[in-house]
Structures are given as C-alpha cells and as structure tokens.
Amino acid sequence: MTGWQVEAGSRCTHADRLPPAPGPAEACEDCLATGGRWVHLRRCLTCGHVGCCDSSPHRHATAHATATEHPVVASAEPREHWAWCYPDRALLLPRP
C-alpha cells in the first residue's frame, strides 16, 4: 500500500501525510494495563499506540485521539484495511 484515499463524498485534511498501516496488533495496551477487555483494535497512525474500538467498554482508541489530538487511527485487525479520521469524520481506504 502506498497511501490512503478518502472515501467518495468525504474529505480528509490528513490523508496525504499518513504512513501506511503497520498491520495487526495483539492487544489494547490500555486494557492490558487495567485488566480490561476489548472487542477490536485500532492503531494510531501518528505514534503507533494500540487502543480498543468504540464497541469496547473503555474506547481507548478514541480516548487516545482526544487526549493527544492525534487525528487518524487504522484498524489493527487481521484482514482489515481502513482508517478513520476523527476530526474530519472520514473513512480512509488504501490507495490501489
């Protein structure tokens, strides 16, 4: 993958500056530290922090994005290739 493209009909002011997603992760860093549980994993494309999705009880990926103002997370699940820009509320897909 050589970059990200914005889903048709949306815009993202961050897509051109993002690295490719580094692939699947094993665990939510914050859930491991607190003994919590997660549903799906998301990786911050600014610093690499792995957090859990908004379907998880603690929503660590969104909490991280809010606290740090890091704008984009990518799915860290196997076989999923997409990212989400929080400030622009835009779905990003791998550039073909």
pLDDT in tens, 19-69: 988 899 999 999 999 999 999 999 999 999 999 999 999 999 999 999 999
Instruction: Kindly state the average pLDDT of the residues 81-87.
Output: 96
Instruction: Kindly state the average pLDDT of the residues 61-84.
Output: 97
Residue whose C-alpha is closest to residue 46's, from 24, 26, 27, 73: 73
pTM of the model: 0.93
Query: 1 pLDDT exceeds 70?
Result: no
How does residue 2 score in pLDDT terms, banded at 50, 70 and 90? low
Q: Give the start-to-end residue ranges of the domains of the chain.
A: 4-12+22-94
Matching CATH number, 4-12+22-94, of 3.40.50.300, 3.30.40.10, 3.50.50.60, 3.40.225.10? 3.30.40.10
